[in-house]
Protein backbone atom coordinates (compact mmCIF):
# COMPACT_ATOMS: atom_id res chain seq x y z
CA UNK A 1 0.00 0.00 0.00
CA UNK A 2 1.24 3.54 -0.84
CA UNK A 3 2.26 5.48 2.22
CA UNK A 4 -0.71 7.53 3.47
CA UNK A 5 -0.16 11.29 3.55
CA UNK A 6 -0.08 13.66 6.50
CA UNK A 7 -0.49 17.29 5.37
CA UNK A 8 0.43 20.27 7.55
CA UNK A 9 -0.82 23.75 6.61
CA UNK A 10 0.25 27.14 8.03
CA UNK A 11 1.01 30.56 6.55
CA UNK A 12 3.73 31.29 9.14
CA UNK A 13 6.99 29.82 7.75
CA UNK A 14 8.50 29.21 11.18
CA UNK A 15 5.41 27.51 12.57
CA UNK A 16 5.02 25.43 9.38
CA UNK A 17 8.66 24.34 9.56
CA UNK A 18 8.19 23.41 13.22
CA UNK A 19 5.04 21.30 12.76
CA UNK A 20 6.48 19.69 9.61
CA UNK A 21 9.67 18.77 11.50
CA UNK A 22 7.77 17.34 14.45
CA UNK A 23 5.44 15.29 12.27
CA UNK A 24 8.17 13.96 9.99
CA UNK A 25 10.47 12.95 12.84
CA UNK A 26 7.71 10.92 14.47
CA UNK A 27 5.74 9.57 11.49
CA UNK A 28 8.04 9.84 8.46
CA UNK A 29 8.79 6.12 8.36
CA UNK A 30 5.14 5.11 7.88
CA UNK A 31 3.60 8.22 6.33
CA UNK A 32 4.39 10.72 3.60
CA UNK A 33 4.54 14.06 5.43
CA UNK A 34 3.81 17.10 3.23
CA UNK A 35 3.27 20.81 3.85
CA UNK A 36 1.45 23.79 2.35
CA UNK A 37 1.75 27.50 3.16
CA UNK A 38 -1.86 28.46 2.43
CA UNK A 39 -5.34 27.01 2.22
CA UNK A 40 -5.38 27.34 -1.56
CA UNK A 41 -2.05 25.54 -1.90
CA UNK A 42 -3.29 22.79 0.44
CA UNK A 43 -6.35 22.22 -1.77
CA UNK A 44 -4.10 21.96 -4.83
CA UNK A 45 -1.97 19.35 -3.07
CA UNK A 46 -5.05 17.39 -2.00
CA UNK A 47 -6.52 17.49 -5.52
CA UNK A 48 -3.28 16.10 -6.93
CA UNK A 49 -3.21 13.34 -4.33
CA UNK A 50 -6.82 12.45 -5.14
CA UNK A 51 -6.01 12.22 -8.85
CA UNK A 52 -3.16 9.84 -8.06
CA UNK A 53 -5.39 7.79 -5.68
CA UNK A 54 -3.02 8.46 -2.79
CA UNK A 55 -4.71 8.14 0.63
CA UNK A 56 -4.68 11.10 3.02
CA UNK A 57 -4.70 10.10 6.67
CA UNK A 58 -4.57 13.45 8.46
CA UNK A 59 -4.63 17.20 7.79
CA UNK A 60 -3.32 19.55 10.48
CA UNK A 61 -4.02 23.21 9.66
CA UNK A 62 -3.75 26.62 11.23
CA UNK A 63 -7.06 28.47 11.67
CA UNK A 64 -6.01 32.08 11.00
CA UNK A 65 -4.60 32.30 7.47
CA UNK A 66 -5.04 35.12 4.94
CA UNK A 67 -7.43 34.46 2.10
CA UNK A 68 -8.85 31.24 3.49
CA UNK A 69 -9.23 30.16 7.10
CA UNK A 70 -8.39 26.69 8.28
CA UNK A 71 -12.05 25.72 8.70
CA UNK A 72 -12.88 27.03 5.22
CA UNK A 73 -10.06 24.95 3.76
CA UNK A 74 -11.14 21.83 5.64
CA UNK A 75 -14.71 22.24 4.37
CA UNK A 76 -13.42 21.99 0.79
CA UNK A 77 -10.78 19.39 1.68
CA UNK A 78 -13.48 16.86 2.55
CA UNK A 79 -14.20 16.46 -1.20
CA UNK A 80 -10.62 15.34 -1.87
CA UNK A 81 -9.93 13.44 1.36
CA UNK A 82 -13.32 12.23 2.65
CA UNK A 83 -11.88 9.93 5.32
CA UNK A 84 -8.96 12.02 6.58
CA UNK A 85 -8.66 13.06 10.19
CA UNK A 86 -8.85 16.84 10.71
CA UNK A 87 -6.83 18.73 13.34
CA UNK A 88 -7.07 22.50 13.81
CA UNK A 89 -4.09 24.42 15.23
CA UNK A 90 -5.48 27.50 16.91
CA UNK A 91 -4.90 30.24 19.45
CA UNK A 92 -7.07 30.46 22.53
CA UNK A 93 -8.98 33.40 20.98
CA UNK A 94 -10.19 31.09 18.18
CA UNK A 95 -11.43 28.35 20.50
CA UNK A 96 -15.10 29.06 19.64
CA UNK A 97 -14.38 28.62 15.94
CA UNK A 98 -12.67 25.32 16.66
CA UNK A 99 -15.63 24.00 18.65
CA UNK A 100 -18.03 25.11 15.90
CA UNK A 101 -15.86 23.25 13.37
CA UNK A 102 -16.55 19.97 15.17
CA UNK A 103 -20.09 20.17 13.83
CA UNK A 104 -19.48 22.09 10.59
CA UNK A 105 -16.54 20.20 9.09
CA UNK A 106 -16.28 17.06 11.22
CA UNK A 107 -13.21 18.32 13.08
CA UNK A 108 -11.57 15.52 15.06
CA UNK A 109 -9.44 17.60 17.42
CA UNK A 110 -8.14 21.11 18.01
CA UNK A 111 -4.76 21.94 19.53
CA UNK A 112 -3.96 25.24 21.20
CA UNK A 113 -0.66 26.78 20.18
CA UNK A 114 2.08 26.20 21.15
CA UNK A 115 2.13 22.41 21.34
CA UNK A 116 5.57 22.11 22.96
CA UNK A 117 6.77 19.68 24.08
CA UNK A 118 5.35 17.58 21.19
CA UNK A 119 5.89 14.34 23.11
CA UNK A 120 3.29 15.49 25.64
CA UNK A 121 0.94 17.75 23.70
CA UNK A 122 1.10 16.73 20.05
CA UNK A 123 2.07 13.10 19.56
CA UNK A 124 -0.52 11.49 21.88
CA UNK A 125 -3.31 13.21 19.94
CA UNK A 126 -1.89 12.37 16.50
CA UNK A 127 -1.09 8.79 17.56
CA UNK A 128 -4.70 8.28 18.59
CA UNK A 129 -6.16 9.76 15.40
CA UNK A 130 -3.82 7.84 13.11
CA UNK A 131 -4.57 4.65 15.01
CA UNK A 132 -8.27 5.17 14.35
CA UNK A 133 -7.58 5.89 10.68
CA UNK A 134 -5.44 2.78 10.30
CA UNK A 135 -8.11 0.64 11.91
CA UNK A 136 -10.67 1.92 9.40
CA UNK A 137 -8.25 1.51 6.47
CA UNK A 138 -6.45 -1.83 6.84
CA UNK A 139 -3.82 -2.50 4.20
CA UNK A 140 -5.63 -5.69 3.20
CA UNK A 141 -8.77 -7.60 4.11
CA UNK A 142 -6.85 -10.40 5.80
CA UNK A 143 -6.38 -13.99 4.77
CA UNK A 144 -9.69 -15.16 6.21
CA UNK A 145 -12.37 -15.77 3.56
CA UNK A 146 -16.10 -16.25 4.07
CA UNK A 147 -18.16 -17.83 1.29
CA UNK A 148 -21.90 -17.46 1.67
CA UNK A 149 -25.21 -16.14 0.47
CA UNK A 150 -26.10 -12.46 0.79
CA UNK A 151 -29.48 -13.17 2.36
CA UNK A 152 -28.42 -16.10 4.57
CA UNK A 153 -29.19 -15.58 8.25
CA UNK A 154 -26.15 -17.54 9.37
CA UNK A 155 -23.86 -15.76 6.90
CA UNK A 156 -25.04 -12.47 8.37
CA UNK A 157 -24.36 -13.73 11.90
CA UNK A 158 -20.84 -14.88 10.96
CA UNK A 159 -20.00 -11.56 9.30
CA UNK A 160 -21.37 -9.66 12.29
CA UNK A 161 -19.33 -11.77 14.73
CA UNK A 162 -16.12 -11.20 12.76
CA UNK A 163 -16.73 -7.48 12.33
CA UNK A 164 -17.56 -6.85 15.96
CA UNK A 165 -14.47 -8.78 17.07
CA UNK A 166 -12.28 -6.75 14.67
CA UNK A 167 -11.31 -9.79 12.58
CA UNK A 168 -10.46 -8.87 8.98
CA UNK A 169 -12.01 -11.07 6.32
CA UNK A 170 -12.87 -11.23 2.63
CA UNK A 171 -16.54 -11.76 1.80
CA UNK A 172 -17.28 -13.86 -1.31
CA UNK A 173 -20.91 -14.07 -2.38
CA UNK A 174 -21.87 -17.44 -3.83
CA UNK A 175 -24.47 -16.02 -6.25
CA UNK A 176 -22.26 -13.31 -7.71
CA UNK A 177 -18.62 -14.34 -7.40
CA UNK A 178 -16.90 -16.96 -9.58
CA UNK A 179 -14.18 -17.38 -6.96
CA UNK A 180 -16.83 -18.14 -4.32
CA UNK A 181 -18.26 -20.90 -6.48
CA UNK A 182 -14.79 -22.28 -7.21
CA UNK A 183 -13.88 -22.45 -3.52
CA UNK A 184 -17.22 -24.03 -2.67
CA UNK A 185 -16.61 -26.74 -5.27
CA UNK A 186 -13.07 -27.36 -4.06
CA UNK A 187 -14.40 -27.82 -0.51
CA UNK A 188 -17.25 -30.01 -1.81
CA UNK A 189 -19.60 -27.73 0.10
CA UNK A 190 -23.35 -27.97 -0.34
CA UNK A 191 -25.97 -25.37 0.60
CA UNK A 192 -26.11 -26.77 4.15
CA UNK A 193 -22.37 -26.06 4.57
CA UNK A 194 -22.69 -22.33 3.97
CA UNK A 195 -21.32 -20.07 5.14
CA UNK A 196 -17.96 -21.66 4.44
CA UNK A 197 -15.21 -20.04 6.49
CA UNK A 198 -11.71 -20.59 5.14
CA UNK A 199 -9.06 -20.10 7.82
CA UNK A 200 -5.41 -20.38 6.67
CA UNK A 201 -3.78 -23.73 7.54
CA UNK A 202 -7.03 -25.26 8.83
CA UNK A 203 -9.80 -27.41 7.46
CA UNK A 204 -12.72 -25.34 6.14
CA UNK A 205 -15.33 -24.45 8.74
CA UNK A 206 -18.80 -25.40 7.53
CA UNK A 207 -21.66 -23.26 8.84
CA UNK A 208 -19.71 -22.83 12.09
CA UNK A 209 -21.17 -21.73 15.40
CA UNK A 210 -19.68 -18.62 16.98
CA UNK A 211 -17.86 -20.86 19.46
CA UNK A 212 -16.34 -22.96 16.66
CA UNK A 213 -15.34 -19.81 14.82
CA UNK A 214 -13.80 -18.18 17.89
CA UNK A 215 -11.82 -21.33 18.71
CA UNK A 216 -10.49 -21.60 15.14
CA UNK A 217 -9.37 -17.96 15.21
CA UNK A 218 -7.52 -18.38 18.48
CA UNK A 219 -9.90 -16.19 20.50
CA UNK A 220 -10.11 -17.13 24.16
CA UNK A 221 -13.13 -19.32 24.90
CA UNK A 222 -11.99 -21.33 27.95
CA UNK A 223 -11.21 -20.14 31.47
CA UNK A 224 -7.63 -20.51 32.66
CA UNK A 225 -8.40 -20.69 36.39
CA UNK A 226 -10.80 -22.79 38.47
CA UNK A 227 -11.77 -19.88 40.75
CA UNK A 228 -11.87 -16.10 40.27
CA UNK A 229 -12.48 -13.22 42.63
CA UNK A 230 -14.94 -11.71 40.17
CA UNK A 231 -16.94 -13.05 37.23
CA UNK A 232 -18.67 -10.48 34.99
CA UNK A 233 -21.39 -11.79 32.69
CA UNK A 234 -21.64 -9.45 29.72
CA UNK A 235 -19.03 -7.36 27.93
CA UNK A 236 -21.00 -4.17 27.28
CA UNK A 237 -20.05 -0.76 28.76
CA UNK A 238 -21.11 -1.77 32.29
CA UNK A 239 -19.26 -5.07 32.15
CA UNK A 240 -16.11 -3.61 30.64
CA UNK A 241 -16.04 -0.77 33.19
CA UNK A 242 -16.41 -3.30 36.01
CA UNK A 243 -13.61 -5.36 34.49
CA UNK A 244 -11.23 -2.40 34.24
CA UNK A 245 -11.87 -1.24 37.80
CA UNK A 246 -11.92 -4.73 39.26
CA UNK A 247 -8.68 -5.94 37.67
CA UNK A 248 -6.88 -2.64 38.22
CA UNK A 249 -7.68 -2.97 41.93
CA UNK A 250 -6.25 -6.47 42.19
CA UNK A 251 -9.27 -8.73 41.67
CA UNK A 252 -8.75 -11.84 39.52
CA UNK A 253 -11.37 -11.00 36.94
CA UNK A 254 -13.02 -12.83 34.06
CA UNK A 255 -15.58 -11.47 31.59
CA UNK A 256 -17.94 -13.81 29.74
CA UNK A 257 -19.39 -12.38 26.52
CA UNK A 258 -21.55 -14.41 24.16
CA UNK A 259 -20.91 -12.25 21.09
CA UNK A 260 -18.30 -9.48 21.16
CA UNK A 261 -17.11 -6.74 23.52
CA UNK A 262 -19.33 -3.67 23.47
CA UNK A 263 -22.76 -5.21 23.84
CA UNK A 264 -25.63 -3.32 22.24
CA UNK A 265 -23.67 -0.06 22.48
CA UNK A 266 -20.89 -1.63 20.41
CA UNK A 267 -23.19 -1.56 17.38
CA UNK A 268 -23.69 2.21 17.53
CA UNK A 269 -22.31 4.13 14.55
CA UNK A 270 -21.72 7.28 16.59
CA UNK A 271 -22.03 8.09 20.30
CA UNK A 272 -21.80 11.86 20.40
CA UNK A 273 -22.72 12.66 24.00
CA UNK A 274 -20.11 10.51 25.77
CA UNK A 275 -17.90 12.61 28.04
CA UNK A 276 -14.43 13.41 26.73
CA UNK A 277 -15.03 12.83 23.00
CA UNK A 278 -16.18 16.17 21.48
CA UNK A 279 -16.69 14.71 18.00
CA UNK A 280 -18.11 11.48 19.39
CA UNK A 281 -16.91 7.95 18.74
CA UNK A 282 -18.34 4.75 17.41
CA UNK A 283 -19.53 2.02 19.73
CA UNK A 284 -17.01 -0.34 18.13
CA UNK A 285 -14.18 2.09 18.89
CA UNK A 286 -15.31 2.52 22.50
CA UNK A 287 -15.56 -1.25 22.93
CA UNK A 288 -12.15 -1.85 21.36
CA UNK A 289 -10.48 0.70 23.62
CA UNK A 290 -12.21 -0.59 26.75
CA UNK A 291 -11.44 -4.24 26.01
CA UNK A 292 -7.78 -3.43 25.37
CA UNK A 293 -7.66 -1.49 28.64
CA UNK A 294 -9.22 -4.39 30.54
CA UNK A 295 -6.81 -6.92 29.06
CA UNK A 296 -3.89 -4.66 29.91
CA UNK A 297 -4.86 -5.08 33.58
CA UNK A 298 -5.00 -8.85 33.20
CA UNK A 299 -8.73 -9.45 32.62
CA UNK A 300 -9.58 -12.76 30.95
CA UNK A 301 -12.14 -12.22 28.19
CA UNK A 302 -14.07 -15.36 27.22
CA UNK A 303 -15.89 -14.92 23.92
CA UNK A 304 -18.71 -16.83 22.20
CA UNK A 305 -19.80 -18.42 25.47
CA UNK A 306 -23.45 -18.40 26.48
CA UNK A 307 -24.27 -18.48 30.20
CA UNK A 308 -27.42 -20.47 30.98
CA UNK A 309 -27.48 -20.74 34.77
CA UNK A 310 -26.39 -19.33 38.13
CA UNK A 311 -25.78 -21.41 41.28
CA UNK A 312 -24.81 -20.69 44.88
CA UNK A 313 -22.19 -23.11 46.16
CA UNK A 314 -21.45 -22.12 49.71
CA UNK A 315 -19.12 -19.10 49.67
CA UNK A 316 -18.78 -19.05 45.88
CA UNK A 317 -21.10 -18.39 42.97
CA UNK A 318 -21.02 -20.49 39.80
CA UNK A 319 -22.18 -19.68 36.28
CA UNK A 320 -23.06 -22.56 33.96
CA UNK A 321 -22.38 -22.62 30.22
CA UNK A 322 -24.62 -24.04 27.51
CA UNK A 323 -22.12 -26.88 26.93
CA UNK A 324 -22.56 -28.02 30.58
CA UNK A 325 -19.25 -26.53 31.75
CA UNK A 326 -19.12 -23.94 34.52
CA UNK A 327 -16.94 -21.33 36.22
CA UNK A 328 -16.75 -20.31 39.89
CA UNK A 329 -16.11 -16.90 41.45
CA UNK A 330 -16.38 -15.27 44.85
CA UNK A 331 -18.61 -12.52 43.40
CA UNK A 332 -20.58 -12.02 40.20
CA UNK A 333 -21.62 -8.88 38.32
CA UNK A 334 -24.60 -9.37 36.01
CA UNK A 335 -24.13 -7.02 33.05
CA UNK A 336 -25.78 -9.13 30.36
CA UNK A 337 -27.69 -6.15 28.99
CA UNK A 338 -30.78 -6.12 26.82
CA UNK A 339 -31.74 -7.13 23.30
CA UNK A 340 -34.11 -5.39 20.92
CA UNK A 341 -37.73 -6.47 21.14
CA UNK A 342 -38.98 -8.57 18.24
CA UNK A 343 -41.62 -7.25 15.87
CA UNK A 344 -44.80 -9.27 15.59
CA UNK A 345 -46.71 -9.79 12.38
CA UNK A 346 -46.94 -12.07 9.34
CA UNK A 347 -43.56 -12.80 7.75
CA UNK A 348 -41.45 -10.80 10.19
CA UNK A 349 -40.04 -13.72 12.17
CA UNK A 350 -39.51 -15.86 9.06
CA UNK A 351 -37.43 -13.12 7.40
CA UNK A 352 -35.29 -12.32 10.47
CA UNK A 353 -31.68 -12.30 9.30
CA UNK A 354 -32.82 -12.17 5.68
CA UNK A 355 -33.58 -8.48 5.34
CA UNK A 356 -35.16 -7.99 8.78
CA UNK A 357 -32.43 -7.23 11.33
CA UNK A 358 -32.46 -6.39 15.03
CA UNK A 359 -29.72 -3.83 15.54
CA UNK A 360 -26.77 -3.48 13.17
CA UNK A 361 -23.06 -2.79 13.11
CA UNK A 362 -21.90 0.51 11.62
CA UNK A 363 -20.23 -1.27 8.70
CA UNK A 364 -23.53 -2.65 7.42
CA UNK A 365 -24.56 0.72 6.03
CA UNK A 366 -22.32 0.28 2.98
CA UNK A 367 -24.34 -2.79 1.93
CA UNK A 368 -27.40 -0.56 1.48
CA UNK A 369 -25.85 1.71 -1.13
CA UNK A 370 -28.54 3.57 -3.11
CA UNK A 371 -31.37 1.49 -1.57
CA UNK A 372 -34.38 2.45 0.55
CA UNK A 373 -33.81 1.54 4.20
CA UNK A 374 -36.48 1.43 6.91
CA UNK A 375 -35.52 1.96 10.56
CA UNK A 376 -38.04 1.14 13.30
CA UNK A 377 -37.67 2.98 16.60
CA UNK A 378 -37.53 6.45 18.12
CA UNK A 379 -34.74 6.25 20.72
CA UNK A 380 -31.07 7.23 20.38
CA UNK A 381 -29.98 3.90 18.91
CA UNK A 382 -32.47 4.27 16.06
CA UNK A 383 -31.43 7.88 15.43
CA UNK A 384 -27.74 6.99 15.32
CA UNK A 385 -28.46 4.14 12.91
CA UNK A 386 -30.60 6.32 10.63
CA UNK A 387 -27.84 8.90 10.33
CA UNK A 388 -25.29 6.19 9.56
CA UNK A 389 -27.47 4.57 6.88
CA UNK A 390 -28.24 7.98 5.36
CA UNK A 391 -24.61 8.37 4.26
CA UNK A 392 -25.05 5.40 1.89
CA UNK A 393 -28.74 4.76 1.26
CA UNK A 394 -30.87 6.61 -1.26
CA UNK A 395 -33.52 7.17 1.40
CA UNK A 396 -33.94 6.29 5.07
CA UNK A 397 -37.43 6.12 6.52
CA UNK A 398 -37.77 6.16 10.30
CA UNK A 399 -40.93 4.40 11.49
CA UNK A 400 -41.79 5.82 14.92
CA UNK A 401 -44.79 4.80 17.02
CA UNK A 402 -44.79 8.04 19.04
CA UNK A 403 -46.00 11.51 18.14
CA UNK A 404 -42.62 13.29 18.28
CA UNK A 405 -38.96 12.27 18.17
CA UNK A 406 -38.21 14.75 20.94
CA UNK A 407 -40.15 12.60 23.41
CA UNK A 408 -37.66 9.72 23.28
CA UNK A 409 -34.49 10.94 21.55
CA UNK A 410 -31.66 13.31 22.54
CA UNK A 411 -32.08 16.74 20.97
CA UNK A 412 -28.70 16.70 19.21
CA UNK A 413 -29.83 13.65 17.23
CA UNK A 414 -33.25 15.16 16.49
CA UNK A 415 -31.55 18.24 15.05
CA UNK A 416 -29.17 16.19 12.90
CA UNK A 417 -32.01 14.04 11.54
CA UNK A 418 -34.04 17.13 10.67
CA UNK A 419 -31.05 18.53 8.78
CA UNK A 420 -30.46 15.34 6.75
CA UNK A 421 -32.31 15.59 3.44
CA UNK A 422 -32.64 11.85 2.74
CA UNK A 423 -34.15 10.92 6.13
CA UNK A 424 -37.93 10.83 6.35
CA UNK A 425 -39.69 10.44 9.71
CA UNK A 426 -43.11 8.73 9.81
CA UNK A 427 -44.71 9.33 13.20
CA UNK A 428 -47.59 7.36 14.74
CA UNK A 429 -46.56 4.45 12.49
CA UNK A 430 -45.59 0.79 12.84
CA UNK A 431 -44.51 -2.17 10.70
CA UNK A 432 -47.11 -4.93 10.86
CA UNK A 433 -46.04 -7.42 8.19
CA UNK A 434 -43.22 -8.41 5.84
CA UNK A 435 -43.10 -10.30 2.56
CA UNK A 436 -40.38 -11.98 0.54
CA UNK A 437 -39.25 -15.26 -0.98
CA UNK A 438 -35.91 -16.06 0.64
CA UNK A 439 -35.29 -12.42 1.54
CA UNK A 440 -37.28 -9.29 2.36
CA UNK A 441 -38.96 -7.60 -0.60
CA UNK A 442 -41.66 -5.47 1.05
CA UNK A 443 -43.14 -4.40 4.37
CA UNK A 444 -46.61 -3.23 5.40
CA UNK A 445 -46.83 0.08 7.27
CA UNK A 446 -49.74 1.22 9.40
CA UNK A 447 -50.03 4.92 10.13
CA UNK A 448 -52.68 6.23 12.50
CA UNK A 449 -55.66 7.53 10.53
CA UNK A 450 -54.55 6.02 7.21
CA UNK A 451 -55.05 2.63 5.52
CA UNK A 452 -52.21 0.05 5.58
CA UNK A 453 -49.54 0.66 2.95
CA UNK A 454 -47.21 -1.91 1.38
CA UNK A 455 -43.79 -0.49 0.39
CA UNK A 456 -40.89 -2.17 -1.40
CA UNK A 457 -37.60 -2.55 0.49
CA UNK A 458 -34.87 -5.12 1.09
CA UNK A 459 -33.76 -3.60 4.39
CA UNK A 460 -35.59 -3.30 7.71
CA UNK A 461 -33.61 -2.54 10.87
CA UNK A 462 -35.38 -2.67 14.23
CA UNK A 463 -34.39 -0.74 17.39
CA UNK A 464 -37.38 -0.93 19.71
CA UNK A 465 -37.92 -1.80 23.34
CA UNK A 466 -35.55 -3.56 25.65
CA UNK A 467 -35.78 -7.22 26.56
CA UNK A 468 -33.34 -7.99 29.39
CA UNK A 469 -31.17 -11.08 29.05
CA UNK A 470 -31.96 -12.52 32.46
CA UNK A 471 -33.66 -15.89 31.91
CA UNK A 472 -30.41 -17.62 32.84
CA UNK A 473 -30.56 -16.23 36.39
CA UNK A 474 -33.31 -18.62 37.47
CA UNK A 475 -35.76 -18.05 40.30
CA UNK A 476 -33.19 -17.11 42.95
CA UNK A 477 -32.58 -13.63 41.50
CA UNK A 478 -35.70 -11.45 41.85
CA UNK A 479 -36.87 -9.67 38.70
CA UNK A 480 -39.84 -7.56 37.74
CA UNK A 481 -42.54 -8.93 35.36
CA UNK A 482 -40.52 -7.75 32.33
CA UNK A 483 -37.36 -9.50 33.51
CA UNK A 484 -35.34 -6.54 34.83
CA UNK A 485 -33.26 -7.28 37.92
CA UNK A 486 -34.24 -5.72 41.26
CA UNK A 487 -31.37 -4.37 43.36
CA UNK A 488 -30.86 -2.51 46.64
CA UNK A 489 -33.90 -0.44 47.71
CA UNK A 490 -36.13 -1.94 45.01
CA UNK A 491 -35.26 -5.36 46.35
CA UNK A 492 -36.26 -4.41 49.88
CA UNK A 493 -39.59 -3.12 48.59
CA UNK A 494 -40.26 -6.60 47.18
CA UNK A 495 -39.05 -8.41 50.31
CA UNK A 496 -42.57 -9.51 51.26
CA UNK A 497 -42.43 -12.17 48.54
CA UNK A 498 -38.66 -12.85 48.63
CA UNK A 499 -37.07 -12.06 52.02
CA UNK A 500 -33.49 -10.73 52.04
CA UNK A 501 -31.39 -13.48 53.75
CA UNK A 502 -28.81 -11.38 55.64
CA UNK A 503 -28.94 -9.13 58.70
CA UNK A 504 -27.40 -6.24 56.79
CA UNK A 505 -29.33 -4.45 54.05
CA UNK A 506 -28.43 -5.26 50.44
CA UNK A 507 -25.91 -2.95 48.82
CA UNK A 508 -27.20 -0.50 46.21
CA UNK A 509 -26.53 -2.76 43.18
CA UNK A 510 -26.81 -6.10 44.98
CA UNK A 511 -29.44 -8.60 43.87
CA UNK A 512 -31.49 -10.99 46.01
CA UNK A 513 -28.47 -13.34 46.02
CA UNK A 514 -25.72 -11.86 48.23
CA UNK A 515 -22.51 -11.40 46.27
CA UNK A 516 -24.35 -11.14 42.95
CA UNK A 517 -24.61 -7.58 41.64
CA UNK A 518 -26.33 -6.07 38.59
CA UNK A 519 -25.14 -3.10 36.52
CA UNK A 520 -26.25 -1.35 33.35
CA UNK A 521 -29.34 -1.85 31.22
CA UNK A 522 -30.23 -5.20 32.82
CA UNK A 523 -31.12 -3.45 36.10
CA UNK A 524 -34.59 -2.10 36.85
CA UNK A 525 -34.95 1.63 36.13
CA UNK A 526 -31.43 2.08 34.79
CA UNK A 527 -30.90 5.14 32.57
CA UNK A 528 -30.18 3.20 29.33
CA UNK A 529 -27.21 5.42 28.52
CA UNK A 530 -23.58 4.43 27.95
CA UNK A 531 -22.21 6.83 30.56
CA UNK A 532 -24.58 5.61 33.28
CA UNK A 533 -23.74 1.98 32.46
CA UNK A 534 -20.03 2.75 32.80
CA UNK A 535 -20.70 4.48 36.11
CA UNK A 536 -22.69 1.54 37.46
CA UNK A 537 -19.97 -0.88 36.38
CA UNK A 538 -17.39 1.11 38.33
CA UNK A 539 -19.73 1.47 41.32
CA UNK A 540 -20.34 -2.29 41.38
CA UNK A 541 -16.63 -2.90 42.06
CA UNK A 542 -16.74 -0.66 45.13
CA UNK A 543 -19.63 -2.77 46.42
CA UNK A 544 -17.91 -6.05 45.47
CA UNK A 545 -14.96 -5.03 47.66
CA UNK A 546 -17.30 -4.34 50.57
CA UNK A 547 -18.97 -7.71 50.08
CA UNK A 548 -15.68 -9.65 49.84
CA UNK A 549 -14.32 -7.92 52.95
CA UNK A 550 -17.15 -9.39 55.06
CA UNK A 551 -17.95 -12.64 53.21
Average pLDDT over residues 408-436: 96
Structure confidence by residue, pLDDT tens digits, 114-142: 888 999 999 999 999 999 899 888 765 56
The pLDDT of residue 1 is above 60: no
Kindly give the pairing relationship between strand 459-462 and strand 467-468. unpaired
Structure confidence by residue, pLDDT tens digits, 103-114: 888 899 999 888
Residues 159 and 131 in one domain: no
Q: Is residue 467 assigned to a domain? A: no
**3-state SS record for 266-280:** HHCCCECCCCCCCCC
Residues 169 and 270 in one domain: no
Residues 257 and 320 in one domain: yes
The pLDDT of residue 427 is above 90: yes
List for the chain the helix, strand, coil content (%; round to 5): 35, 25, 40
CA distance 485 to 234: 14
What is the share, in percent, of the chain residues with pLDDT greater than 70?
A: 99
Beta strands in 215-334 (DSSP E): 227-233, 253-257, 300-303, 307-313, 316-321, 326-334
CA distance 131 to 123: 12
Average pLDDT over residues 449-472: 94
The pLDDT of residue 497 is above 80: no
How many Å separate Cα 527 from the centre of its chain?
Answer: 19
Average pLDDT over residues 507-529: 95
Average pLDDT over residues 190-210: 92
CA distance 498 to 356: 40
pLDDT at 495: 66
Do residues 7 and 42 make contact, with C-beta atoms less than 8 angstroms apart?
yes
Residues 122 and 161 in one domain: no
Which residue range forms the structural domain that includes residue 153?
A: 145-216
The pLDDT of residue 73 is above 90: yes
Residues 118 and 151 in one domain: no
Average pLDDT over residues 377-393: 94
Do residues 205 and 216 make contact, with C-beta atoms less than 8 angstroms apart?
yes
In total, how many domains does the chain have?
A: 4
Which 8-state DSSP code applies to residue 484?
P
Average pLDDT over residues 525-536: 93
CA distance 370 to 380: 24
Residues 186 and 282 in one domain: no
pLDDT at 420: 96
Beta bridge pairs of residue 538: none
Q: Is residue 476 assigned to a domain? A: no
The pLDDT of residue 93 is above 80: no
The pLDDT of residue 280 is above 90: no
- Long-range interactions of 25-31: CB distance < 8 A, separation 24+: 26/118, 26/123, 26/126, 27/126, 27/130, 30/3, 30/4, 31/3, 31/4, 31/5, 31/6, 31/57, 31/130
**Which of 216, 244, 277 marks a domain boundary?**
216
Beta bridge pairs of residue 485: 479, 523
Residues 53 and 23 in one domain: yes
Q: What is the CATH number of the domain that holds 157?
A: 3.40.30
Question: What phi, psi does 127 have (nearest 5°)?
Answer: -55, -45
Structure confidence by residue, pLDDT tens digits, 158-197: 999 998 998 889 999 998 889 899 899 989 999 999 999 9
The pLDDT of residue 30 is above 60: yes
Average pLDDT over residues 513-519: 98
Q: Is residue 155 assigned to a domain? A: yes
Residues 535 and 509 in one domain: yes
Structure confidence by residue, pLDDT tens digits, 324-381: 899 999 999 999 999 999 999 999 999 999 999 998 877 788 889 999 999 999 999 9
Q: What is the CATH number of the domain that holds 361?
A: 3.50.50.60
**3-state SS record for 112-171:** ECCCCCHHHHCHHHHHHHHHHHHHHCCCCCCCCEEEECCCCHHHHHHHHHHHHCCCCCEE
pLDDT at 141: 56
Which 8-state DSSP code applies to residue 472?
G
Structure confidence by residue, pLDDT tens digits, 316-336: 999 999 988 999 999 999 999
**Which of 107, 136, 165 marks a domain boundary?**
136
The pLDDT of residue 217 is above 60: yes
Question: Mean pLDDT score of the chain, rounded to an integer?
Answer: 93
- The pTM for the full model equals 0.84
Q: Is residue 62 assigned to a domain? A: yes
Residues 94 and 23 in one domain: yes
Average pLDDT over residues 273-296: 90
Residues 267 and 172 in one domain: no
Amino acid sequence: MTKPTILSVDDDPEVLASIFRDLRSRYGRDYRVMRASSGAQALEVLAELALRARPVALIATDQRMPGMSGTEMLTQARRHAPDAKFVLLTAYADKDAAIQAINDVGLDYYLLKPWDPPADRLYPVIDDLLGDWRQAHPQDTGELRVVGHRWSKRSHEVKTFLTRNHVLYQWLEIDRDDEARRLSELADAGPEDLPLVLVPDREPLRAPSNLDLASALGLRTRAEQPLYDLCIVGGGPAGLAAAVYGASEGLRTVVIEREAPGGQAGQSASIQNYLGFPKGLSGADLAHRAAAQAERFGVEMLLARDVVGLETRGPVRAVRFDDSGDLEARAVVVASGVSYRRLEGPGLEELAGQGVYYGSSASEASQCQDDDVYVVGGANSAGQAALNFASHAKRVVMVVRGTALEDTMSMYLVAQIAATDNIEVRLRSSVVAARGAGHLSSITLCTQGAPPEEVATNWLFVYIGASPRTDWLGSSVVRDPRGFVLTGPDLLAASATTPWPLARAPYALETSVPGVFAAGDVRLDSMKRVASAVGEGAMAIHLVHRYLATA
